Structure 1
Amino acid sequence: MLRLIPFFTTESQLIVALKRGESRAHKVVYERFAGKMLAVCTRYCANRADAEEVMLDGFMRVFEKIEQFREDGSFEGWIRRIMVTESLMFLRKAKHWRQEISLDDVTVELDYEWADTSVNENDLLRLVNQLPDGYRTVFNLYAIEGYTHAEIAEMLGISEGTSKSQLSRARMMLQVNLKKVEQEFRSESYEKTYRKTAN
């Protein structure tokens, strides 16, 4: 349910207004979801200007396809899937995500306990955004959106092995970079403690 806002007191009323093409409904949807959807697009398009463009295209697609929403699931989830699709279309056009790597090339033993308590969510998101486009795309689809490797392979036009290898490489890079962040954090903490003791 939506919080009480002018014109629409329930999500169903809002969706009916969207299907009628009411501009005030468009505005409410944009204002309610723009922040979250920009975050989704930014995870795929590391450049903020590209992410904003993709998000705007995504909202246009939402308004165009609103008749396809049957209200048998989450409205926000439906919008999110459209944003992910728009992001992938952007990457496909820009040819950023076709970084095929053989699964045989992945030889590093991964430590899945990468996230130390000293690393916050913003640090992790920043590191994910620094991944190469192909790695970042597969990581987001698998680890955040919850797609299977078979689904990712179909969406991106790659093999399941490539999807798995890109995820493994992404995790490996995150593990290495997280350790660097943790070391920097510990060094800064030690230096602050030393200064206090010295004073």
Structure 2
Amino acid sequence: MNYTDEELISGCKRRSVKHEEVFYKKYYGYVMGISLSYSKDRDLALEITNDAFLKFFGTIKKVENFQTIKAWLRRITVNTAIDYYRRNKKFQNQSDFEIDIPNQYEVNAISNLGYEDIIRLINQLQEDQKLVFNLYEIEGFSHKEIADRLGITEGSSRVYLTRAKVKLRQLVQTHLNEYEGR
């Protein structure tokens, strides 16, 4: 049976196992996609996904507007990924210094890269750099928000982001060189 989001939320508020199961199946791909963007490991992404759903179902009674479900699921999933990294990853504070970005890597390569290529390149970043890159560039968090959430300094957040961008430029250049060599 096809349920509307409103019916699913109403059922989940009543703790209907059937409604929770249908909701999980309906939004699994969406939540897993977000989780994968914060994890290099599929098992870890699944753990983040399942934890996010548990948190969602635990707070479902607070949902007043079923039309904001995807935004709320996204926020819960991102926060779950952040919580995981805070618990399991020791961030080393980086000094506040700037990294010179060589001009040779300034390439307008987006038109030559497919979605899968971009994700593959981002997944090659170190986990701390990938996390900060996603939070800043994808989610729109400020360096202050990232620092507060991860327990690092704003300077460290900036350094992680800068290093991620430098590494991505190098990876894009390498990818393009390989592509042209085919």
TM-score calculated relative to the size of structure 1: 0.83
Q: Give, in angstroms, the shift of residue 68 of structure 1.
A: 2.2
Q: Is the 1:38–1:51 contact (alpha carbons within 8 Å) kept by the matching residues of 2?
A: yes
Q: Is the 2:38–2:81 contact (alpha carbons within 8 Å) kept by the matching residues of 1?
A: yes
Unaligned stretches of 5+ residues in structure 1? 1-5, 189-199
Deviations 1:60-93 (A, max 9, x none): 1111111122318620110111111111111122
Alignment pair present for 1:165 and 2:159: yes
Cα RMSD, aligned residues only: 1.9
Summarize the alignment of residues 117-156 of structure 1 with structure 2, pairs less than 5 Å apart. Answer: 117-156=111-150
Selected match of 1:50 from 44, 47, 50? 44
What is the aligned length?
181
Q: Is the 1:116–1:182 contact (alpha carbons within 8 Å) kept by the matching residues of 2?
A: no
Selected match of 2:172 from 169, 178, 187? 178
Structure possessing the higher relative contact order (Cα contacts under 8 Å, 6 or more residues apart): 2
Selected match of 2:69 from 66, 72, 75? 75
Q: Is the 1:114–1:175 contact (alpha carbons within 8 Å) kept by the matching residues of 2?
A: no
CA distance in 1, matches of 2:106, 2:72: 31
Alignment pair present for 1:29 and 2:23: yes
**Regions of 4+ moved over 3 Å:** 109-116
CA distance in 2, matches of 1:143, 1:112: 18
CA distance in 2, matches of 1:137, 1:99: 14
Q: Give, in angstroms, the shift of residue 101 of structure 1.
A: 2.0
Say which one has the larger Rg. Answer: 1
Partner of residue 94, structure 2: 101
CA distance in 2, matches of 1:88, 1:162: 16
Q: Give, in angstroms, the shift of residue 109 of structure 1.
A: 4.8
Alignment pair present for 1:85 and 2:85: no
CA distance in 2, matches of 1:112, 1:167: 16
CA distance in 2, matches of 1:100, 1:114: 32
Against the structure 1 CA distance between its residues 89 and 35, is the aligned structure 2 distance closer, same or farther, given a 3 Å change threshold?
Answer: same
- SS class of match (1:74): helix
CA distance in 1, matches of 2:59, 2:102: 45
Against the structure 1 CA distance between its residues 159 and 114, is the aligned structure 2 distance closer, same or farther, given a 3 Å change threshold?
Answer: farther
CA distance in 1, matches of 2:166, 2:70: 32
Q: Is the 1:54–1:83 contact (alpha carbons within 8 Å) kept by the matching residues of 2?
A: yes
Q: Give, in angstroms, the shift of residue 113 of structure 1.
A: 5.1
Q: Is the 2:143–2:158 contact (alpha carbons within 8 Å) kept by the matching residues of 1?
A: yes
Against the structure 1 CA distance between its residues 73 and 176, is the aligned structure 2 distance closer, same or farther, given a 3 Å change threshold?
Answer: same
CA distance in 2, matches of 1:114, 1:167: 19
Unaligned stretches of 5+ residues in structure 2? none
| Segment of structure 1 superposing worse, 141-150 or 172-181 | 141-150
